[in-house]
Amino acid sequence: MNAQSVLTFGREALTLLLMISLPVLLTVMAVGLVVSIFQAVTQINENTLSFVPKLVAAVLVFLVAGPWMLSTVVDFIRRTIENIPLALG
């Protein structure tokens, strides 16, 4: 296993991490922005008002995109395990 293959594996792992986490992060960020604007307009300063909608949005994203996320991670792990003999030999 040379340095190039290690760097390629690391780059693929980081790209997968970004691709998997992006839908949840963008959704929670958008919901947080909307809730923050609502709190600023109405001058309601309640912590649970910002936490609960983000939690609900994250759960909904996991329900919708969860199967895709899981299959993507399983494919990556399968490819990695299949390439172990090539890396060692």
What confidence tens digit (pLDDT) does each residue in 41-87 have?
999 888 888 899 999 999 999 999 999 999 999 999 999 999 888 87
Residue 24 pLDDT > 80: yes
Locate the domains of the chain by residue range: 3-88
pLDDT of 82: 92
pLDDT of 81: 93
- Candidates 68, 66, 54, 52; CA nearest to 26 is 54
For residue 52, give both structure tokens. Answer: 């609960």
pLDDT of 71: 97
Question: Taking the chain, what is the end-to-end CA distance rounded to the nearest angstrom?
Answer: 8
How many angstroms separate the Cα of 15 from the Cα of each of 11, 18, 54, 60, 85?
6, 5, 25, 23, 23
User: Is-contact 14 76, C-beta < 8 A?
Assistant: no
What is the rounded average pLDDT of the residues 36-41? 92
Task: Write down the pTM of the prediction.
Answer: 0.81
